[in-house]
Amino acid sequence: MRIMAYEALDFYDVDSLLTEEERMVRDMVRDWVDEEVIPNIEIACREGVFPDEWRVALGEMGVLGAPLKGYDCPGLSYTAYGVICRELERGDSGLRSFASVQGSLAMYPIWDFGSEEQKNHYLPKMASGEWIGCFGLTEPDYGSNPGDMITKAEDMGDHYLLNGAKMWITNGTIAELAVVWAKLDGVIRGFIVEKNDPGFSAPEMKGKHSLKASVTSELVFQDCKIPKDRILPGVKGLRGPFSCLNNARYGISWGALGSAQACFDSAKDYAMSRIQFNHPIASYQLVQNKLSWMLREITKGQLLAYHLGKKKDSGTWIPEHISLAKMNNVDIALEIARVARDIHGANGILDEYPIMRHMANLESVKTYEGTHDIHNLIIGRHITGIQAFTREA
Amino acid sequence: MNITVLLKQVPDTTAKITISDGKVDENSVSKWSMSPYDEYALESGLQLKEKTGGNLIAITCGPERAKKMLTDAAAVGADTLVHISNDGVTDSTHVQKLLAAAVKKFDSQIVLCGKQAADTNGGSTGPGVAELIGAACVTLVSEVNYSEGNFSTIRPSNSGTEKVAVDGLSVFAFDKGTSELRRPNVRGIMMAKKKQVESITSGDLGVILNSSNVALNSQNPPPEKPAGQKFEGAEHVNEVVSKLRNEANVI
Amino acid sequence: MDFTIIAETNGDSLHPTTYQLIGAAASMGSNSTVICPNGVGASEAAKINGVEKVISATGDCFNIFDGGAWASAMSSMCGEMTLISASPNGREIGARIAAKKDIPIIQDVVSMSEGITVNRPIYSGKAMESLTISGSAVITLRPNAFEAASTGNDAPINVVDQSADVKIAIQEAINKASERLDVTEADIIISGGRGMGTIENFSHLEEIADTIGAAVGASRAVVDEWGMPHRMQVGQTGKTVTPSLYIAVGISGAIQHLAGMRSSKYILAINKDPDAPIFGVADYGIVATWEDAIPALKSSLSELQS
């Protein structure tokens, strides 16, 4: 028997705007998260593992690389992709990170910048979940400033030689392939590195307090030899990685709402049940103020995400639109998680409740895919025309 | 082979039911779903379809919104989707007549349904349809199997379960089935979107819906529960057990 | 209005609900004709007050339960109003008789009055429906919702041999050790907490569960500390359940446990601590040790069953 169906907070009925296809995709992922993810996520988090069954299930459902068309990819709308991210992240941000990296950061660059051979070789197996991909841009010393990266590729005639290291790479240790951005003659290019390529290793980064049910890795290239046909021919410069990041950031703007909804639901249920001074704490004004604020921010965030989805689907978007939504929705989600923890009192620190797991996860989500401050400056530059990222002109 | 599954769309079993003006307010239902026992019937039908290479026909009698449920059935593999409008339907007898006529029209070799719908909680449809089409009916089944041209099923017995064979066209009414319910996937959803729902009326089926001699007076909230009662000492156990039977009607 | 009753049986004798069916007809001011399928309980039925006559319906068609064959054999003997128990078999026979006679069927009725007006639960008990029947119909009555008729009668018994096509055959009996119900499926759950003392003491709860067809649940403390299987855990990190009756034994009622069971229709709490929070949500609370209350509960429930 299906277990109790989840009803998400949707105060302004934004989901009523979804197409029937988007609704059916939503319900498919939502039911799966209820049945397979939520009952198991706390154990996965405690043990620090990403259950392989989830990779299999995501592949079977056919949601990986959601908005990509052709090559056995789903070919769904961007709105559907957003909905998928939201439903996954209601379960856990680490789960949604897996899907974001696979779809937007590993499949997408091959789809947009790869050769026909590369697309036919990699995309179908990535869509089915058989091959996991990851995205190597960030380096130990180059995070917000990827343009100055030092990972280098040298043209050795019959192969490329990669040297350098990437850090904070989701899926790295479990991936069959990595889309790695490195400088070839001073120009950033994309390279597909496969896990057995000589000179390549992907050790797991341990000791995380956040995204514990997700695999985070280093990618280490020590005279790593890769065949010439592994370069992505279709793009040069930062446009390559940034195109990928735009897609992932878009998904995150929806995803964060899933996390916020999970925290809101838990806080509301808890406030209605917890009796202190003979009354449920939901009857006290300060608690109601908090719940009301959460509803307000989630509703605003939903409208932002939905409209952005429409702009993505109609091609009328610019990267700054995505910066706004990612920044806003992640920011409010993290605040909602913190306030929700407060409402739960001491109980909120236990993994009986999902609150602190979401809260800790959202610290990463606020930092990756462009920190909050960087997106802030992206919008500032858009308003003023003046870049305020660096001290140089 | 035509495998017919009778489905009903009901308020989700976790949805709150609001009553206004002596009637359940359907507009306030936040989520509509396939009736849970029907889901097991559909899963069984899909397995039979895979085994026999047959055609799965999903039939529902209901309002317009029930067509969405048929699309959900298509997403997991239903081939033919039939919506019978429930205009003029006032009771179970009407539903049975319409479904029976549709079962005949679509030339079914087997009929699967849930043992009872989650809203009306009756259990009349399966056996009633069987009677109208002159078929056998087995209720509370947990699985249906096909082998060498014959269907057999598992139903409860006094000492466990029993395997039962049927003669001729039969209706199987499902309790919770032994199989896991399959999930749709994106490919199924996209193909389902393209599937037409065939809409038919009582007129198309040649069924006349006579006025019924049952009239609905009202639908009301359940009787108020008495306030919580607390008793000191195990000597009150008998009294409490009587209350559970006579006051609460739960045992 | 004449009432025909199809007797409900339990092995070789009448099931208590048959007395309730006869009592229900009597409450409408009417005697009834009782049909006993396969003749089971015919002489017993003849002794029930309110029975005008008993028809002992015999024939090979009653050897196994084939709802279609049974309905076919009995429907011609049914009069204007037919009452049957809302048991699984009763509902099936009722639906087939109604369809055969082209009359309405109303299932699972919990009260009946002049009119004939009946009430029945809908939406799994979240609402009640009131209907008025102005002609012939088949009604199935919920067990234990109606007063049983008394005995002292001596009605005549007619044996009528019937035949009907049986389309069902039993191929194989599978006598499996009945698996106890899972907490998410059961209509009644009996759950134990730390107050049960040891995991071995759960056997007492299991006995009760077997008596009334309930599932056994557990609080998180018992699962974490005594190794009870996790699938039995009810609560915030276990299952959320919505049975008609939740019996909480030796469970204090911490918020995490309540999260999993507070939507139960009725809650009976047994705890030796009168201040246990569980009493705040219980419909019926008994302040007692499980050692005192559980044996009493077991015998009380067993008596009820017979």
Q: Do A273 and C280 touch (CB under 8 A)?
A: no
Residue boundaries of the structural domains of chain B: 2-205
Region class of B26: left (phi > 0), else alpha (psi between -120 and 50), else beta:
alpha
- Look up residue A72 and give its DSSP letter: T
> Per the CB < 8 Å rule, is A347 touching C184?
no
Counting as contact any 3 or more CB pairs under 8 A, the partners of A are B, C
> CB of B238 within 8 Å of any CB in chain C?
yes
Assess whether pLDDT exceeds 70 at residue C6. yes
User: Which DSSP category does C234 fall into?
Assistant: B
pLDDT at residue A5, as a whole number: 64
Structure-derived torsion over alpha carbons of residues A101, A104, A106, A107, reported in degrees to the nearest 10: 130
Partner residue facing B128 (CB), from C95, C289, C292: C95
**C175–B222 C-beta distance less than 8 A:** no
Q: What is the pLDDT of residues C216-228, one digit of tens each?
A: 999 999 999 999 9
Report yes or no: C57 at the A interface, CB cutoff 8 Å. no
Contact B36 A25 (CB under 8 A): no
Strands B170-174 and C111-113: unpaired
The alpha-carbon gap from B174 to the nearest alpha carbon of chain A, in Å, equals 12
Distance from CA of B82 to the nearest CA of A (A): 18
Q: Where are the alpha helices (DSSP H) in chain C?
A: 16-27, 42-45, 67-74, 88-101, 202-212, 220-226, 255-261, 290-305
Structural Rg of chain A based on CA atoms: 21
Give the pLDDT of residue C180.
77
Closest CA to B78 of B62, B55, B101: B55
Using only C-alpha atoms, what is the Rg of chain C?
A: 23
Report the SS3 class of residue B218: strand
Q: Would you list the DSSP string of A295-357? A: HHHHHHHHHHHHHHHHHHHHT---HHHHHHHHHHHHHHHHHHHHHHHHHHGGGGGSTTSSHHH
What residues form DSSP beta bridges with B2? B55
Q: Which of B186, B191, B196 should we substitute to test contact with A (largest number of A Cβ atoms within 10 Å)?
A: B186
Residue in chain B nearest C107 by alpha carbon: B122
Q: Span B2-205: which CATH code?
A: 3.40.50.620
Q: What value does the mean pLDDT of chain A take?
A: 96
Return residues 158-197 of C near A (CB < 8 Å): 184-185
Q: Does A146 score more than 60 pLDDT?
A: yes
Q: Is C237 on the interface with A (CB under 8 A)?
A: yes
CA atoms within a 13 Å half-sphere pointing along the CA-CB vector of A108 = 23
Cβ-based burial of C115 (10 A; exposed 0-12, middle 13-18, buried ≥19): middle
CA A293 – CA A272 distance, rounded (Å): 17
| Contact across the interface for A21 and B189, Cβ inside 8 Å | yes
The answer to whether the CB atoms of C98 and B128 lie below 8 A apart is yes
Q: Which residues lie below 8 Å from residue C1, measured CB to CB, with a gap of 6+?
A: C28, C30, C80, C81, C116
A-chain CB neighbours of C258 within 8 Å are 273
Q: Which residues contact residue A367 at a Cβ distance below 8 angstroms, ignoring those fewer than 6 apart?
A: none
Distance of alpha carbon A232 from alpha carbon A239, whole angstroms: 13
Among C187, C167, C208, smallest CA distance to C69 is for: C167
**Nearest residue on chain A to B16, alpha-carbon basis:** A7
Residue C53 in contact with partner chain A when CB distance is under 8 A: no
Taking a C-beta distance cutoff of 8 angstroms, is the pair B102, B224 a contact? no
Superfamily of domain C188-305: TPP-binding domain (3.40.50.1220)
SS percent in chain A: helix, strand, coil, step 5: 55, 15, 30
Q: How far is CA C168 from CA A386, B122, B172, B241, C68, in A?
A: 83, 23, 12, 40, 9
Give the per-residue pLDDT at C304: 83
* Measured distance CA(C256)–CA(C86) in Å, rounded: 37
Note if A130 is an active site residue.
Answer: no
Whether B42 contacts B179, CB under 8 Å: no
C263 class by beta-carbon count within 10 Å (0-12 exposed, 13-18 middle, 19+ buried): middle
- Mean pLDDT across A12-20: 96
In the predicted structure, residue A3 carries a pLDDT above the cut 60: no
Q: Please give the DSSP secondary-structure letter assigned to residue A142.
A: B
Q: Taking Cα atoms as reference points, which of B239, B189, C155 lies closest to residue A22?
A: B189
Task: Among C185, C220, C262, select the one facing A1 at the smallest CB separation.
Answer: C185
Task: Inspect the interface and report whether the beta carbons of C258 and A273 lie closer than 8 Å.
Answer: yes
Pair B182, B45: CB distance under 8 Å: no
Q: CATH 3.40.50.620 residue ranges in chain C?
A: 3-161
C164: chain B residues, CB-CB within 8 Å: none
> Closest chain B residue to A5 measured between Cα atoms?
B14
Q: How far is C269 from chain A (nearest CA, A)?
A: 18
Counting as low any pLDDT under 70, the low residues of chain B are none
| Tens digit of each residue's pLDDT (9 = 90 or more) over A36-92 | 999 999 999 999 999 999 999 999 999 999 999 999 999 999 999 999 999 999 999
Please tell me which residue of chain A has the smallest CA distance to C258.
Answer: A273
Residue from A97, A170, A152 nearest A178 by CA: A170
Is A54 in contact with A96 (CB distance < 8 Å)?
no
In this predicted structure, the answer to whether residue A4 has a pLDDT above a threshold of 60 is no
Residue pair C233/C224 in contact (Cβ under 8 Å)? The answer is no
Quick one: tokens of B67? Answer: 């067509």
CA distance B251 to C187: 10
Residue of chain C nearest B176, judged by CA positions: C185
pLDDT in tens, A186-238: 999 999 999 999 999 999 999 999 999 999 999 999 999 999 999 999 999 99
Say if residue A234 is exposed, middle or buried (CB neighbours under 10 Å; 0-12, 13-18, 19+).
middle
pLDDT at A344: 98
Cα–Cα distance measured from residue C25 to residue C146, given in angstroms and rounded to the nearest whole number = 10
Residues 6+ apart with CB under 8 A from B241: B251, C297, C300, C301, C304
CA-only gyration radius of chain B, Å: 20
B240, B245, B247, best to mutate vs chain C, most C CBs in 10 Å: B240
Could you give phi then psi for residue A25, rounded to 5 degrees?
A: -65, -40
Distance (Å, whole) CA A84 – CA B170? 41
Interface predicted TM-score of the whole assembly (ipTM), two decimals:
0.94
Q: Are C144 and B245 in contact (CB under 8 A)?
A: yes
Interchain contact, B193 vs A21, CB within 8 Å? yes
Domain C3-161 - what CATH class? alpha beta
> Using one digit for the tens of pLDDT, what is the confidence trace for C151-202?
999 999 999 999 999 999 999 998 776 677 889 889 999 999 999 999 999 9
The string of DSSP letters for C12-24 reads TEE-HHHHHHHHH
Query: How many CB atoms are located within 10 Å of the residue B77 CB?
Result: 20
Residues C123-138: pLDDT tens digits? 988 899 999 999 999 9
Pairing of strands A279-280, B19-20: unpaired
Smallest Cα–Cα separation from A83: which of A145, A24, A144?
A24
Question: pLDDT tens digits for A287-326?
Answer: 999 999 999 999 999 999 999 999 999 999 999 999 999 9
Separation in Å, CA A101 to CA A96, A328, B79, B157: 9, 21, 36, 53
Asked if A42 is an interface residue toward chain C (Cβ–Cβ < 8 A), one would say yes
Give the minimum alpha-carbon distance from A9 to chain B in angstroms, rounded to a whole number. Answer: 12
User: Do B217 and C132 form a contact (C-beta atoms < 8 A)?
Assistant: yes
Residues written for chain C: 306
